[in-house]
Structure 1
């Protein structure tokens, strides 16, 4: 008999595979011992049938192992080639056929072909193909995990559900719990995905900002490098002009002096000639000859000539002059002014000139100096009129504000006492807690406020939010820089080197006025 024919004779009609521990029924048909046992386990009592001929039995038949058939099947299996394969394969196929599902009750992976025969006979729980189902069984009762205890968040079997540990707990079918948990995790995943996308957008935004800042920094470096080269060029040209001016004036004076000396040499020669002529006349002893010769020229009339020569000489000496040091200094001053004008126009930063304090809005205990530059906290109430524009607290605003452009101004503070400097809208309250700069959304300031913890550090305030800076105060001069369109207000400590303290960022909607607050005999002076 051919191998293929023998295979057909040795195949179980239930699992469609070579017999494993075959048994024979009363009707003469053969089946794997496990296959017929599991088949009858799921049939109704008093209704047992033969899967092959469908003969009915009123009682469950006793099965008898077919030893001869078992030996033939084992001998046939030994003649078949063995293959080493990876993966999960059907238990009942002779060759490596990938399993479609694994039956939890049978603990057997099966292909689609055997799965259809299996499903016609029993209704078991099927899972994804696996060779080991240990993880799907209860470690205590060795039964299939069918439920999920929501209180203990544990997968349990039917015995676990009925014993004391989980009795009375809220449980769900494993598949239902799986669906709920999966749906919940999908919802969480959706949120996390959305959050990660938002983080990605923020990172991208920050990267774009970083790139913009880097590009801007490169542009600013190139711009200022070009500006410094232009300044150096102008300074070099100014240096040449200033250093060449003394030499130019020197040459001019020396030329005039040389001309004057040459004229004096001519006059000296003329005088020498006259002196020699007079000496010769004085040697004549004959009176008639002497007088006749002496009257031929105005040898004796020298007073008028001396006066005229002196006056002309004095005028020529005056015309010679001296080095004009003031003119040299003027060249330097004008040149430097032109360079500063060029630099100011290039960097487009306006230094406000003449920022003055408005005494009409200063608090009753704020003394304003006559030049309207200094504010001092006074223990004596100032003699001033009461108006709606006047602050009740110890602070003051400038007379004018800024509604565009870039501006900077400086203040000098006293070495002790509390103070705040900054900028605010003119619509700021004039009395109450909201009137103090830094304690409302209409003002931004830097200050020093003494406390028990640290009195040598700066604080910045806006809308009642206080930030203690880590910079120790090292000097008493502060620069305030405003870029109105960019919405930036920055504070710098004017030391060596200059140190950036803090920058506020906002969208300004009103003109900004300089604002000062002083306490405890403190003085703040606007520079410039």
Structure 2
């Protein structure tokens, strides 16, 4: 009912030209009113002669020295102040511990997820049980600050790498996954270095075999059949060398892949243990750890 009355008053006190609450209203001979600035602009740009009312399109002669509607101006100003006061109260954050009196909150506790007035904030400042509870300026969106992945956690950090707000558990998870990524990178680098060394050895062996083929070719130039047999033997030798190193490459690759998988499983197991332990003891200085996250 109150909203309906407010809407009705807004319609009655709205200028038909600027569609805002009357400012310095002037009444036309037909009885309709409009802001003085709006009337002046209409007269400057109007092509109608005589001037027509924008509401009822009534004709009158030249509009000069219209009297200010003091009663309407006073009502419009009071309505504007009441509307502004209501908007301010709607944005105000109230204490969750005294909803009956609608006391304005002084701080919000991110741990308890409540807003507190000065009186109810004393317990957080004096009692040891509330030591470490972060108090920030009043927040009207505490429920919206819930972590979508961990519903019992509040978003209180900003992750620079993912460019989003995260909670304690997200920050811990990001840190542990970063450690797993570092371990994976080390194992991949070791695998790459190992295989590079393998290929260098294989290249050296093939060069030696090619030189042996050339030497054998020089010796067997006189007899085509002996030359063909010698080349066949050398090619078979090269083929067996390639198969040998290919087999060892496959075995070593599988061994390192298994080691990588075991390392990742171990890191995730450690993370799960730490996450379970940290659920009751949130991190206090995650924002200082390797620049991963910063406080809101």
TM class, shorter-length:
0.3 to 0.5
> More strand by proportion, 1 or 2?
1
Higher relative contact order, chain-length normalized (CA < 8 Å, sep 6+): 2
**Over alpha carbons, which structure has the higher Rg?**
1
- Output the TM-score relative to the length of structure 2: 0.34
Which structure carries more helix by proportion? 2
TM-score scaled by length of structure 1? 0.20
